[in-house]
Amino acid sequence: MTRQPHGNPWVAVRPGDDVAQLARTNSTAHSSFVDGAFADGAFVDGTERGGDPDRPAVRSVVLDSWLRSRSKGVDPDGREAVVDLGADELERYRSAHPMALIRPVVRKLLVEDTADTGLLVAISDARGRLLWVEGDSAAKDRALAMNFAEGADWSEERVGTNAPGTAIALDHSVQIFGAEHFSRTVHDWSCSAAPVHDPMTGQIIGAIDITGGPRVAVPEVLALVRATVAAAESELRLHLLNSPRLLGAGPPRLQVLGSQRPTLVRDGDRVTLSRRHAEILLLLADRPEGLSTDQLAMLLDESDLDSVTVRAEMSRLRKVFGAQGLGSRPYRLLTDLVSDVGEVRRALGRGDAAAALAAYRGPVLPGSVAPGVEDIREQLRSGMQAALLRGGDAALLARWTSTPEGREDTASWTAYLSSIAPDSPMYAQVRARVEMLDRKLGG
pLDDT on residue 252? 86
Listed residue (313, 318, 274, 319) closest to 297, CA to CA: 313
pLDDT on residue 4? 41
Listed residue (177, 351, 201, 182) closest to 193, CA to CA: 177
Contacts with 48 (C-beta within 8 Å, 6 or more apart), sequence order = 29, 32, 42, 57
Can you say whether residue 197 is alpha, beta or left, with left for phi > 0 and alpha for psi between -120 and 50 degrees?
A: beta
CA distance 159 to 179: 14
The answer to whether 127 touches 156, Cβ cutoff 8 Å, is no
Give the bridge partners for 253, in sequence order. 265, 338
Can you say whether residue 121 is alpha, beta or left, with left for phi > 0 and alpha for psi between -120 and 50 degrees?
A: beta
pLDDT on residue 259? 81
**Residue 273 to residues 261, 278, 298, 365: CA-CA distances in angstroms?**
7, 6, 21, 11
Give the bridge partners for 333, in sequence order. 326
Contacts with 180 (C-beta within 8 Å, 6 or more apart), sequence order = 12, 26, 30, 58, 59, 62, 161
- Architecture of the domain whose range is 88-151+188-242: 2-Layer Sandwich (3.30)
pLDDT on residue 3? 41
Sign of the CA dihedral running 204, 282, 263, 313: positive
pLDDT tens over the chain, length 443 residues: 234 444 688 999 998 899 999 999 999 999 999 887 554 345 545 555 455 555 557 899 999 999 999 988 889 988 667 776 677 778 888 888 889 999 999 999 999 887 778 999 999 999 899 999 999 999 999 999 899 999 999 999 889 999 999 999 999 999 999 999 999 999 999 999 999 998 877 889 999 999 999 999 999 999 999 999 999 999 888 877 766 555 555 678 899 998 889 999 876 578 899 999 999 999 999 998 999 999 999 999 867 778 888 999 999 999 999 888 898 889 999 888 889 999 899 889 888 888 889 889 899 999 899 999 999 999 999 999 999 999 999 889 998 998 888 889 999 999 999 999 898 888 999 999 999 998 887 75
From-to residues of CATH 3.30.450.40 in the chain: 88-151+188-242
pLDDT on residue 295? 92
The answer to whether 171 touches 195, Cβ cutoff 8 Å, is yes
pLDDT on residue 347? 86
Contacts with 49 (C-beta within 8 Å, 6 or more apart), sequence order = 41, 42, 43
Quick one: the chain helix, strand, coil %, rounded to 5?
50, 15, 35
Give the bridge partners for 197, in sequence order. 204
pLDDT on residue 47? 57
